[in-house]
């Protein structure tokens, strides 16, 4: 009986001791539909032996027309369900408390809900009262995010806050085996293995890549949720789709326009540097930017230098070396030393990092300033710029700081980001937000 | 719009004059240019026996150890991280669609070989059941070939990739000739085709059988070394 737990609320290709599976691919006209990722399998995606296979969810293990998926309906049978308690010792600000109350009410009514909380609002803690309530009721809960770094950072915090709740962390390439737990922290990809498992799903950074552009992952959330379940979406920068749902009142929303320390968000200051791209191709940086970097280094001010592309990292590092700035360390998504470099930056063992948008969210450095170089490049969307600006002034000890955006011209995305920050700050001021 | 079969990015179809000359009509590309340049070609500085990338053209240490049991192999690409990542998705995850990534390159490589009969290395029945394709024949498009070899039924071993070099060198002959093989092999110059040359053990076992079948000469081509 114990071993059956592996199938509770999941659908996997391994058969349990008894119980019939269902075909992993079902025919739809001349094509097939994958029952794990619910995507169409093209008639050309066929093996030499004639069987069709799904390429969309291949990384979870290949499914063909010969495979079956097995599941046991979620029974909510957890080992320590009585003792689920909040072991978090912090306190919520009045704004956080209000938002926490709203989250709890929507959860109790089993309504889907969006928590639009500015960067540094403390949105994780805002969910704690509702989370404690749901865990005490014996509900099965998933906390998921499209970003693996968000999951890795969050898992230990949840383990501390709910010390008596059984918890498991799942992501691609994870070395530990799956175990059945009341609280699952995972990447949105991992939800593909679940089937009507969760009473409540929290989706953290809902507008982040790849979830925002992947119908497969968006559908995975729907299928992992029980028919009676609901979800809570968390973000500081909802995309146009979500904002439309909110406007149409198809999705309930709670705003937290003020950071937990009640200091307003730093605004983005624009510096125009003409033809920075051409100058960089000649190995040069704008003099304004060089002076700016030198000032931060002289003041001992830690900072992040955001650049558009991986290919820009090395030329900028070299251009800085030409003017005698040799301390530059670069980081990007595929960097094997990424974690190490982020830790060195957090421990202030290095003065600054040149980074791609990979550090736009999910990471916190105390007392950091931000420079965006080439802010007019298409990779800097409005959401990306607001998130990047949100790296600054997060701690109560250092609640302010500078955000400077160097660009050839002020793009629509830059203007929209400034407008969004100004609007949030206007609302924040009404709630008693301070400038410093 | 077509998307790259490997990375999924949209492909811009470029119409070139030379392309129009050669084929009369444009081929639809299925692999993007970035993916096509992920692999490192073996340059002129390689081992003359096994095709391994080196800094000179002397016979490599592994080939010296084979001594008289020599086999001439040509390799197209270096077996580096990019090629391993490709094989991981194609062969081990079983993404048969990725065969297209190397099909055009194999056409070119086969043009440069001098042979009468092409013999791909076979896979055993159990692998055919689970994987659903032979990764080597998957790369062939219209080229004629002869499946002269088959894997002995008794050869239910652990996969080659799970073995150490010493263990691989110890393996017994895994292949036997199919029934009509001698008739087709007699007096032919045979080219064996395999995915990766690792120790050379598998290819030498195959070559020995082909010679027993009456072939005049055997050489081999692998996609990577
Ligand atoms: Zn699928
Ligand atoms: Zn590609
Ligand atoms: Zn050699």
DSSP B30-95: -S-HHHHTSSPBP-SSB-TTT--B-SS-SPPHHHHHHTTS---EEEEE---HHHHHHHIIIIIS--
Beta carbons within 8 Å of A423's beta carbon, 6+ residues apart: none
B158 pLDDT band, cuts 50/70/90, is low
Q: Which of B104, B145, B144 is nearest to B5 (CA)?
A: B104
B95 in contact with chain A, both atoms CB, cutoff 8 A? yes
Cβ atoms B69, B203 nearer than 8 A: no
Q: What distance in Å separates the CA atoms of residue B67 and residue B161, rounded to the nearest whole number?
A: 24
Using DSSP, state whether A2 is helix, strand or coil. Answer: helix
Q: Which residue of B has its CA nearest to A60?
A: B93
User: What pLDDT sits at residue B23?
Assistant: 52
Å from CA of A43 to ligand 1 middle: 14
Note down pLDDT in tens along chain A; length 436 residues: 558 999 999 999 999 888 789 999 999 998 999 999 999 999 999 999 999 999 999 999 999 999 999 999 999 998 655 555 788 888 899 999 999 999 999 999 999 999 999 999 999 999 999 999 999 999 999 999 999 889 988 999 999 999 999 999 999 988 899 999 999 999 999 999 999 999 999 999 999 989 998 999 999 999 999 999 999 999 999 999 999 999 999 999 999 999 999 999 999 999 999 999 999 999 999 999 999 999 999 999 999 999 999 999 999 999 999 999 999 999 998 888 988 999 899 999 999 999 999 999 878 898 999 999 999 999 999 999 999 999 999 999 999 999 999 999 999 999 999 999 999 999 999 999 998 8
User: What pLDDT sits at residue B115?
Assistant: 97
Chain A residues at the B interface, defined by Cβ less than 8 Å, are 44-49, 51, 53, 55, 58-59, 61-62, 64
B21 pLDDT band, cuts 50/70/90, is low
Cβ neighbours of B96 in A, within 8 Å: 45-48, 53
Say whether B132 and A51 touch across the interface (CB within 8 A).
yes
User: What pLDDT sits at residue A87?
Assistant: 83
pTM: 0.87
Q: Which residue of A has its CA nearest to B131?
A: A47
Q: What distance in Å separates the CA atoms of residue A266 and residue A404, rounded to the nearest whole number?
A: 10
**Token pair for residue B68?**
């008289």
State which residues have CB under 5 angstroms from ligand 3, the bound ion. B 47, 49-50, 52, 60, 63
List the single range of A39-53, A315-329, B27-41, B112-126 with lowest mean pLDDT.
B27-41
User: What pLDDT sits at residue B35?
Assistant: 92
Å from CA of A194 to ligand 1 middle: 13
B89 in contact with chain A, both atoms CB, cutoff 8 A? yes
Cβ neighbours of A55 in B, within 8 Å: 95, 97
Answer yes or no: is pLDDT of B24 > 60: no
Q: What distance in Å separates the CA atoms of residue A213 and residue B152, rounded to the nearest whole number?
A: 49
User: What pLDDT sits at residue A80?
Assistant: 58
Domains in chain B: boundaries: 1-37, 42-153+163-224
Ordered by where they begin, the domains of chain A are: 94-256 (3.40.50.300), 268-430 (3.40.50.300)
Q: How many CB pairs under 8 A join A and B?
A: 34
Say whether A55 and B134 touch across the interface (CB within 8 A).
no
Can you point out the beta strands (E) in B129-169? 149-151
Cβ atoms B152, B173 nearer than 8 A: yes
Q: Which residue of B has its CA nearest to A55?
A: B95
Q: Thinking of the domain B42-153+163-224, which architecture would CATH place it in?
A: 3-Layer(aba) Sandwich (3.40)
């Amino acid at each position: 009986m114990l071993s059956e737990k592996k199938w509770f609320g999941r659908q996997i290709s391994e058969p349990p001791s008894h119980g019939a599976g269902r075909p992993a691919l079902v025919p739809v006209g001349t094509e097939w539909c994958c029952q794990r990722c619910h995507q169409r399998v093209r008639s050309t995606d066929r093996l030499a032996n004639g069987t069709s296979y799904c390429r969309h969810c291949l990384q979870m293990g290949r499914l063909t027309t010969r495979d079956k998926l097995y599941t046991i309906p979620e029974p909510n049978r957890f080992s320590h369900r009585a003792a689920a308690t909040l072991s978090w010792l912090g306190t919520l600000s009045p704004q956080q408390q209000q938002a926490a109350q709203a989250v709890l009410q929507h959860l109790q009514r089993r309504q889907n809900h969006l928590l639009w909380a500015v960067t540094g609002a403390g949105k994780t803690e805002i969910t704690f009262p509702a989370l404690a309530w749901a865990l005490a009721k014996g509900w099965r809960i998933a906390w998921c995010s499209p970003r693996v770094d968000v999951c890795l950072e969050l898992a230990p915090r949840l383990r501390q806050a709910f010390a008596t709740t059984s918890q498991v962390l799942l992501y691609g390439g994870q070395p530990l085996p799956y175990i059945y737990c009341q609280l699952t922290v995972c990447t949105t990809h991992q939800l593909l293995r679940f089937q009507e498992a969760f009473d409540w799903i929290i989706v953290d950074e809902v507008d982040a890549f790849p979830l925002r552009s992947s119908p497969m992952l968006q559908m995975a959330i729907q299928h992992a949720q029980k028919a009676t379940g609901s979800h809570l979406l968390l973000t500081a920068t909802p995309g146009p789709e979500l904002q439309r749902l909110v406007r149409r009142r198809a999705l309930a929303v709670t705003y937290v326009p003020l950071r937990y320390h009640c200091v307003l968000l730093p605004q983005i200051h624009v510096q125009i540097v003409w033809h920075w791209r051409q100058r960089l191709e000649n190995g040069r940086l704008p003099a304004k930017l060089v002076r700016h970097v030198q000032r931060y280094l002289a003041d001992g001010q830690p900072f992040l230098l955001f650049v558009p592309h991986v290919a820009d990292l090395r030329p900028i590092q070299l251009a800085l070396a030409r003017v005698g700035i040799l301390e530059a360390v670069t980081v990007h998504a595929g960097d094997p030393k990424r974690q190490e470099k982020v830790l060195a930056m957090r421990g202030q063992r290095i003065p600054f990092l040149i980074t791609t948008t990979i550090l736009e969210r999910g990471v916190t450095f105390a007392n950091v300033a931000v420079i965006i170089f080439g802010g007019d490049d298409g990779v800097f969307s409005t959401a990306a710029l607001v998130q990047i600006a949100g790296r600054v002034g997060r701690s109560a000890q250092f609640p302010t700081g500078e955000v400077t955006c160097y660009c050839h011209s002020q793009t629509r995305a830059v203007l929209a980001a400034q407008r969004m920050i100004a609007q949030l700050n206007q609302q924040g001021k009404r709630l008693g937000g301070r400038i410093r | 719009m077509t998307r790259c079969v490997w990375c999924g990015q949209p492909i811009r179809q470029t119409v070139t004059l030379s392309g129009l000359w050669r084929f009369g009509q444009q081929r639809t590309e299925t692999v993007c240019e970035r993916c096509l340049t992920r692999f490192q070609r073996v340059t002129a500085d390689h081992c003359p026996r096994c095709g391994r990338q080196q800094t000179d053209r002397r016979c490599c240490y592994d080939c010296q150890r084979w001594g008289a049991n020599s086999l001439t192999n040509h390799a197209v690409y270096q077996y580096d991280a990019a090629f391993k990542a490709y094989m991981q998705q194609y062969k081990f995850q079983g993404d048969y669609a990725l065969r297209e990534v190397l099909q055009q390159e194999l056409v070119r490589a086969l043009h440069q070989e001098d042979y009468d009969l092409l013999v791909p290395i076979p896979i055993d029945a159990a692998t055919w059941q689970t994987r659903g394709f032979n990764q080597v024949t998957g790369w062939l498009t219209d080229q004629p070939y002869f499946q002269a070899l088959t894997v002995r039924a008794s050869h239910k071993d652990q996969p080659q990739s799970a073995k150490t070099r010493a263990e691989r060198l110890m393996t017994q002959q895994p292949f036997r000739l199919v029934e009509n093989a001698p008739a087709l092999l007699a007096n032919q110059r045979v080219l064996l085709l395999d995915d990766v040359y690792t120790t050379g053990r598998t290819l030498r076992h195959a070559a020995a059988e082909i010679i027993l079948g009456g072939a005049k000469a055997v050489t081999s081509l692998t996609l990577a070394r």
